[in-house]
Structures are given as C-alpha cells and as structure tokens.
Amino acid sequence: MSQFVHGLVSKIEQVLPMAEALYKDLHQHPELPMQELRTSNIIAGKLREAGFEVTEKVGATGVVGVLKNGAGPTVMLRADMDAVPMKEETGLDYASRIEVVNEKGETVPVAHSCGHDMHTTWLTGAATVLSLARDSWRGTLIAVFQPGEETGKGSQAMLDDGMTQRFPRPDVIMGQHMLQCRAGTVGCRAGQVLTSGDSLLVRFFGKGAHGGMPQNGIDPIVMAASAVLRLQTIVSREIAPQTQTVVTVGEFHAGTAENIIPAEACLKLNVRTTDEGVRNHVLQAIKRICVAEARASNAPRDPAFEEINNFPLTVNDAETTRKIGGAFQDYFGDRFVDMPTQGASEDFGRFGKAWNSPYTYWFVGGCAPELYDKALQAGEIEQLPGPHSPFWAPTLHPTLRTGIETMLTAAGVWLAGRPTTSD
C-alpha cells in the first residue's frame, strides 16, 4: 500500500458516508449539459465547507475550487457533472424520474447513465480528504467540476471564460471515467486512450410533390438514403484496415405523410477516429459523398453541413502516465490493469492543450464483482450494461472508495513530494 494513501485511510472512511449520500442525491437529480445549476450549487457548497477558494459560473455552470497548502506543485483534478437525455431503467430506489425541457423546447427524461454523478462524487470526496489531511502534503490543488462534457462544449466554455488566466497553471492535469469493468479495478495506458469524435447535421434539399406524381418532385429521401449507404464505404474502401475508424448515421428525419415527397431530409452522423489525418480525410469524404449524391439526383442546391459537436483525441502523456501507473501498481496491485484504447471520446484533453500541461486520463470499474465474474465465465462481457445504457447501475461499494483512492494516489505522486511507494 502506498505510504501516502495509507496515511489517509481514516480520512477516507470519514468521508465515505458523505460521498454515498451525495452520489444518491446527484443520481436522483440529473441535469442536462450546461444546465447543471443545482449540481454546481451543491458542489460549490461542499468545497467551501472544505476550505477551498471557490469560483462559480465558470463557462456557465462550471465550478473551480482552489486549495493552497504551501509551496509545491500545482495539481488539477477534473470531473464532469452533466447527464444524458434518456430514461433510466435500473429499478433503483434512488433512480432518476426527472423530466426537463431541453434547448429545443421538448420534454425529455434525464438520467446519469454515463456515470458523471460518480465522477463528481469521487472528486468531491478526494478534495475533502486532502483538505482534512493538509499536514501530509504541500502544493496547490485545483478541483475542476466541468459542465457539458456530453456535448463537447463544457471544457471549451470554461476556457473561453478565461480559465487559463484566472487560475494557476497546473503542473499536471488528471481525470477519470467509470466503465463496466469489475468494481475495484483501475485501468490506464500511455498514448492515445480515447478517439476523437465529430457529429454533423447534413440537410438535403429536394422539391416537394405529390407521392403519386413523383415526376414533379426531387426526392431528398432517395438522395439521403443513397448517401447513408455510400458513407459506409469510407471506412471499408478509403481507410486502411488497421486504422480504427467508425462512421455512424444515428438519425434520419424526413417527411410528414406517406403520400408526400418532402422538400428536405436530414441526417445526423457521428465519426470516431484515432488519427488527425484520417479524421480530416473522413470529414472531407462525408461532404464529397453527400454533395455528389445530391447532384446525381439533380437537387436544387448542395446539402448544408452543420457541426453539432467535436471532441479532440485524448492522448495521455507518457512520462506522467508512467508515474501514475507506478503509483497505481503499488497501491492497487493486481487490481491495476493496462487498459486498451476505448472507442468513446472526451473533451478533457482541451485543458492540457490550453495550459500546455501534461495530462493523464484513466478508468475505474463499476460493475458488481459477482455480475462481472459471471459474465466473464459465460463469455458475455459485451452484454453487461455500460455507459449510456438505461440499465447501467454501478455498484456503490467498492466503486465509491476506489475512485477516491485513485485520485488521491495520483495526486500524491506530486503533492506528497515523492512517488508513492508500497509499504
């Protein structure tokens, strides 16, 4: 066990009841991206109680807490706060039953089905422990609670709000995410760990007409449907097989009645890539194919393209990850694993780029051990509910404690003045 975190065990035990209550409260009261008013207010209060200097409304609803504790390194720990517009089906007695009005004026269900309530709880718990144990470390801790990760807007909103000028430059930036791995396990890797992500709205234009008189119209559904099929050839015929690339059309909207050829059809699509050159090629290929299909159908104008969101590549700094990985190995032993690259995307990396600071992002398991072991034995790991599943219900213990321990272990590499070592 690492000497630093070993010395904090009693403080962790002291904080766990608060963390569990906070998690259940946040889980029952999820908020959509950039609308995290209740969550940010609660977190600001917790940080003030712990003695942090707190700044609210950074990038709309972001919260930044700074705890200065003598001369030493500056460490930034980050968590995201937002939830997703979907209905929870876990059956938990603290499940979300929230419905809200979104930006479009639609009433939608909201749930913490990506685990950001756990992320927020972990950071609050770790920050509270470090406040209680100020005699064991030196330096400055910056606790960043970010809004709007799901839309990729939150980190940029905070940076646009002058974050790099308003707060000390971190020597290192760290973040973590819960996955459907075995609870109590921790995974990390150097280099590229998450994909870049781009989402687009493509609007095709035709000419409306009666369904029984198609010669009088130009059908945008046909051109959009043809584009959907042709878009899949980007991955299969334009990208090297060893390159991880995904193009997904997740929405297709057109028409109001079965006997009317509509004037427009809309696609929403998502791209995941692991290389910036490949990313640029795929985005250009999407536009080329959509324009070509529209012109082949004699469309009155080329399609219109609108960026919905974008996420940069997440690439862990090698030396920073080596130090953190060593500390995890010392503390967690065989519960620390080398995590493969994940297909999801994050906006966390923007903080490191803006400050020119090294960063590392890792993963913590949240699946009940008995469920995970049963699925592993049956060869059904892929069937376990995970992020963005309405059935994902992470087990509270040891997940709560593990996520607090990971943040303390990683932060201790810098704040404790030496790399953590085993007892």
pLDDT tens profile 188-220: 999 999 999 999 999 999 999 999 999 999 999
Give me the mean pLDDT over the 128-136 stretch: 97
Asked if residue 421 is part of any domain, the answer here is: no
Give yes or no: residues 201 and 68 share one domain: no
- Using the 3D structure, point to which of 310, 331, 356 is the last residue of a domain: 310
Residue 299 has pLDDT above 50, yes or no: yes
The dihedral built from the CA positions of residue 81, 85, 90 and 91, taken in this order, carries a sign that is positive
- Using the 3D structure, point to which of 261, 279, 310 is the last residue of a domain: 310
Asked if residue 420 is part of any domain, the answer here is: no
Asked if residue 423 is part of any domain, the answer here is: no
pLDDT value at residue 103: 85
Give yes or no: residues 103 and 15 share one domain: yes
Give yes or no: residues 211 and 268 share one domain: yes
Give yes or no: residues 224 and 151 share one domain: no
Find the domain containing 159 and state its range: 3-194+313-415
Q: Provide the pLDDT confidence category of residue 421 given band limits of 50, 70 and 90.
A: very low
- DSSP letters spanning 99-145: EEE-TTS-EEE-B-TTSHHHHHHHHHHHHHHHHHTGGG--EEEEEEE
Asked if residue 214 is part of any domain, the answer here is: yes
Give yes or no: residues 186 and 115 share one domain: yes
We report the CATH number of the domain holding residue 317 as: 3.40.630.10
**Structure tokens that stand for 141 in this block:** 């801790």
Give yes or no: residues 274 and 377 share one domain: no
Residue 422 has pLDDT above 80, yes or no: no
Give yes or no: residues 187 and 267 share one domain: no
Asked if residue 220 is part of any domain, the answer here is: yes
Per-residue pLDDT tens over the stretch 60-83:
999 999 999 999 999 999 999 999
Asked if residue 422 is part of any domain, the answer here is: no
Of how many residues is the chain composed? 423
Q: Which residues contact 150 (CB under 8 A, 6 or more apart)?
A: 33, 82, 83, 84, 114
pLDDT value at residue 3: 84
Give yes or no: residues 155 and 206 share one domain: no
Give yes or no: residues 202 and 189 share one domain: no
pLDDT value at residue 1: 42
- Using the 3D structure, point to which of 273, 289, 310 is the last residue of a domain: 310
Give yes or no: residues 70 and 152 share one domain: yes
Asked if residue 134 is part of any domain, the answer here is: yes
Asked if residue 365 is part of any domain, the answer here is: yes
We report the CATH number of the domain holding residue 303 as: 3.30.70.360
Give yes or no: residues 147 and 292 share one domain: no
9-28 helix and 37-49 helix, angle to the nearest 10 degrees: 160
Q: Provide the pLDDT confidence category of residue 104 given band limits of 50, 70 and 90.
A: confident
Task: Quote the CA–CA distance of 2 and 415 in Å, as a whole number.
Answer: 14
Give yes or no: residues 201 and 277 share one domain: yes
Kindly report the pTM of this predicted structure. 0.91
The total domain count for the chain is 2
